[in-house]
Amino acid sequence: MRIYADNAATTKISRKARDAMISVMDEVYGNPSSLHSEGQRAAEVLLKAREDIADCLGCSADEIYFTSGGSESDNTAIVSAVKYAEKRGKRHIVTTAFEHHAVLHAIKKLEAQGYEATYLDVHENGIVRPDEVEKAIREDTALVSVMYANNEIGTIQPISEIGRICNEKKILFHTDAVQAAGHVKLDVGELGVDYLALSAHKFHGPRGIGVLYAKRRATLSPLIEGGAQEKNRRAGTENLPAIAGMAAALKDAVSGIDETACRVSAMRDKLIDGLLKIPHTVLNGDKESRLPGNVNVCFEGIEGESLLLMLDMMGVAASSGSACTSGSLDPSHVLLAIGRPHEIAHGSLRLTIDDENTDEEIEKMTDIIPKVVEKLRDMSPVWDDLQKGRNKYVIQ
Ligand X SMILES: *Cc1c(COP(=O)(O)O)cnc(C)c1O
CB-based closest residue to ligand X:
70
Q: Least distance from C-beta 151 to ligand X, angstroms?
A: 4
The Cα–Cα gap between 109 and 123 comes to 25
Cβ-based nearer residue to ligand X, 157 or 229: 157
The Cα–Cα gap between 180 and 129 comes to 19
Judge contact between 268 and 353, C-beta under 8 A.
Answer: yes
Q: Least distance from C-beta 175 to ligand X, angstroms?
A: 10
Cβ-based nearer residue to ligand X, 242 or 271: 242
Would you tell me the crossing angle of helices 240-254 and 257-276 to the nearest 10 degrees? 80
Beta strands at 281-283 and 64-67: parallel, antiparallel or unpaired: unpaired
Judge contact between 219 and 173, C-beta under 8 A.
Answer: no
Cβ-based nearer residue to ligand X, 154 or 301: 154
Q: Least distance from C-beta 367 to ligand X, angstroms?
A: 29
**114: alpha, beta or left, given left = phi > 0 and alpha = psi -120 to 50?**
left
Cα dist. 363→75, 153, 270, 366 in Å?
A: 40, 21, 8, 5
366 sits in which H/E element? helix 359-379
Cβ-based nearer residue to ligand X, 73 or 260: 73
Judge contact between 331 and 18, C-beta under 8 A.
Answer: no
Q: Least distance from C-beta 210 to ligand X, angstroms?
A: 5
Q: Least distance from C-beta 70 to ligand X, angstroms?
A: 2
Cβ-based nearer residue to ligand X, 212 or 248: 212
Residues of this chain that bind ligand X (CB under 6 A): 69-71, 74, 100, 102, 147, 151, 176, 178-179, 199, 202, 210
Cβ-based nearer residue to ligand X, 80 or 179: 179
The length of the chain is 396
Q: Least distance from C-beta 46 to ligand X, angstroms?
A: 20
B/e letters for 209-226, b = 16+ CB within 10 Å, e = fewer, are bbbbbbbeebebebeeee
Active site includes 262?
no
Q: Which residues are catalytic?
A: 324
